[in-house]
Chain A
């Protein structure tokens, strides 16, 4: 089955505040979407609703494939060395050969280092390695480039490009420009509710 991810008339709120409404889009296999918007416009909220972690206030989300999520929390035990922390997810995902992802992201020298000593960028790369090892068709990436150095930004962009070219779907929330072919863009500000005059 072809991977698909779509939202119809989606509205989400955080607390009592409506963040966006009437948001619709559809992504087919091989397509990528760049989600933009100032802080607090609801990028993370949208991604969590798309992932099925929260129920949207209104509207519907349709997924036909497994979802992979990379956010600011890579879900790696801080007390364990990186290799062991990643090994847990490999066991859960049934991934037999994680070496490819580790090599691409330059994580091999860090495998013995406890996760709590890793920098923001290193943690982000570790989270991406776990995502790569899952081999799922839909990637939801929440600020995948924050904290990364120039070389790593290039690597991660190339990884997303490879994923999309191979028939995957990527939805990327980022403040940075992304050099990905055929990247569409969606500004969340366009869907913000109109402020009613007091």
Chain B
């Protein structure tokens, strides 16, 4: 049952599985590519500020998949049919969270390599960046899932979710990008702690939001 759910969710959201799921990764690389054009090709400036740009690109890329993440399955009645089969909303959302992270976290980390080359980032910075993204993207995925579930039944949900994600993702951004400025991996521990908390809450919050959306 869980395996069937995960397989379906992954086939819907994984990049290059079709349905425009590769867009966040393409967007992420595009931001890294445009940045040197905007600030000039000076390697010093780029390597000093590039890490932060990668973080902002990751944050923005996390917003892109939110539109379809939950609302489509509410409209299709998938969650209702699963509920009738005894699957709780919490399990549905936990599986969705895993699929969502798998389809945007690791691909984004892979895309960080070409992005680092474009931004002239050195080895230690790339190392911290990857570590930070590994710790931070689950948290971004969790925030995204909660927001997508909360705004699923609203008409302007898609635009709203982008606005809602940014302030909530601020702690992850501060500690994640802060690690780069100080070249210190300690604050990545904070990022991991925030992520852990968000991942633990997300299935319950999103599940409750889906139940509440039924009682209109």
Contacts and interface: CB of A to CB of B under 8 A. Distances in A.
Interface of A: 14-15, 48, 51-55, 66-69, 71, 73-79, 88-89, 91-93, 130, 134
B84 A73 contact: no
A68 B82 CA distance: 11
A51 B215 CA distance: 13
Interface string B1-14: 10111011000100
Contact of A68 (B19, B84, B215): B84
A92 B85 contact: yes
A40 to B, nearest CB: 14
A75 B81 contact: yes
Nearest to B83: A53
Interface of B is mostly: helix
B216 interface: yes
Contacts of A88: 4, 8
A76 B76 contact: yes
A69 B7 CA distance: 23
Contacts of B19: 79
Contacts of A77: 8, 12, 76
Contacts of B214: 48, 53-54
Given A73-B75, A79-B18, A67 B84 contact: yes
B76 A69 contact: no
Contacts of A73: 75-77, 80
B80 A75 contact: yes
Interface string B107-140: 0000000000000000000000000000000000
A76 B78 CA distance: 8
27 contacts: A14-B216, A15-B216, A48-B214, A55-B215, A66-B84, A66-B85, A66-B86, A68-B84, A71-B80, A73-B75, A73-B76, A73-B77, A74-B77, A75-B76, A75-B77, A75-B80, A75-B81, A76-B76, A77-B8, A78-B76, A79-B19, A91-B4, A91-B7, A92-B1, A92-B4, A130-B81, A134-B85
B175 to A, nearest CB: 38
Given A73-B76, A77-B12, A79-B19, A89 B81 contact: yes
A41 B106 CA distance: 50
Contacts of B82: 92
Contacts of B81: 69, 75, 89, 130
Q: Which 6 A-B pairs have the closest CB atoms?
A: A73-B77, A91-B4, A75-B77, A75-B81, A75-B78, A92-B4
A54 B76 CA distance: 17
Contacts of B75: 73
B8 A69 contact: no
Interface in B68-93: 75-78, 80-86
Given A48-B214, A52-B84, A134-B85, 6 more contacts: A15-B216, A53-B80, A66-B84, A79-B18, A91-B3, A92-B5
Nearest to A15: B216
B18 A51 contact: no
A89 B76 CA distance: 13
A134 B5 CA distance: 16
